[in-house]
Amino acid sequence: MTTVPTPPRVLSIAGTDPTGGAGIQADLKSIAAVGGYGMAVVTALVAQNTRGVRQVHVPPVAFLTQQLDAVSDDVTIDAVKIGMLGNAEIVAAVGEWLGRVRPPVVVLDPVMIATSGDRLLDADAESALCGLLPRAHLITPNLPELAVLVGAPVAEGWAEALDQARAVSERFGVRVLAKGGHLAGPHAPDALVDAASGSTLEFPGTRIETTSTHGTGCSFSSAVATLRASTGDWAVAVAEAKRWLHESIAHGAALQVGGGNGPISHFAGLWERGGLRTAGAPSAEVTAGTPSGTAAS
């Protein structure tokens, strides 16, 4: 078990969401919420909101590589979370960088289908993404994405989802975090599946009746990557990330963001238990609007 100093330095490689609920914006919030220092490399500029995706612009691959190298040339990276990769060339560039840098923790969320149901990658990009999976230590597909990876219809029950996760884990040689959030019924289980060791570790959960689910996959995978870096244990990381996500989903509706599938409230726990004010006595340190230690002009 290897841990890193707090806070772990976590790089998100993903697309954007101008409404702040998914993509890199959600990743940075999630990393911070569970105790990490977030960094970001943008793969795609996405015109989307809580109702769906409108357009995707992919910057030149050379610029993506410049972003990646700018971070890794200067900062020690304790974990990487990979999200949306806009096309096959982007996938290849990220794969080449991973081969050179070899981050100690790589969590790949194979973003192919958004919560809204939008297909986010073309066939060539999906094929290239499959070639990238073995470079990750954990992948976190939702049930529609798991079905694409295994080449089967979307699982209708938890046992079927676990069978698909085992097949994907064996085929690509990677741990799979199977997620039951898309299943019907009151339960929302998750499971860590590792075909190499033959292990399946389940994490039971209850469903929250809400439409505030935008960006849950991005947020969950980012939290797991951060907590794996800080704890050194996959099971502990998933369990704590799941507890955090459940609380964040429960408070999402209170944000009142958007008219579709709204975002989760990433900092709900911190706001509730930590407060919103900096420690100290502001009234004693500020005189006539001038902070203590500064000279009024």
> Exactly one of 15, 83, 95, 179 is catalytic; which is it?
179
- Residue from 50, 216, 226, 231 carrying the catalytic annotation: 216
Helix (H, G, I), strand (E, B) or coil at 152: coil
Torsion angle of alpha carbons 282, 286, 291, 295, nearest 10°? -160
**What is the CA angle 35-38-40, rounded to 5?**
160
Our answer to whether residue 213 is catalytic in this structure is yes
Q: Does 141 sit behind a cis peptide bond, omega within 30 degrees of 0 on the bond before it?
A: no
Query: What is the number of other CB atoms lying within 10 angstroms of the CB of residue 120?
Result: 22
Assess whether 226 carries a catalytic annotation: no
**Coil, strand, or helix at residue 195?**
coil
CB of 106 within 8 A of CB of 80? yes
215 as an active site residue: the answer is: yes
Collect all residues with Cβ–Cβ distance below 8 Å to 209 and sequence separation of at least 6: none
Provide the β-strand partners of residue 176.
Answer: 139, 193
Torsion (CA) 9, 13, 17, 21 in degrees, nearest 10: -40
Concerning whether 38 is annotated as a catalytic residue, the answer is no
Query: How many beta carbons lie within 10 A of that of residue 203, not counting itself?
Result: 19
Which residue is catalytic, options 20, 218, 242, 262?
218
- The answer to whether the bond into 291 is cis (omega within 30° of 0) is no
Whether 232 is a known active-site residue: answer no
> What single letter denotes the amino acid at residue 11?
L
Give me the catalytic one of 16, 43, 213, 226: 213
41, 77 contact by CB (below 8 A):
no
Q: HSE of 6 in the Cβ direction (CA atoms, 13 Å)?
A: 6
- Is 98 in contact with 106 (CB distance < 8 Å)? yes
Phi/psi at 79 (nearest 5 deg)? -160, 150
Q: Is 216 among the residues known to form the active site? A: yes
Of 15, 86, 181, 217, the active-site residue reads 217
Residues that are catalytic: 179, 213, 215-218
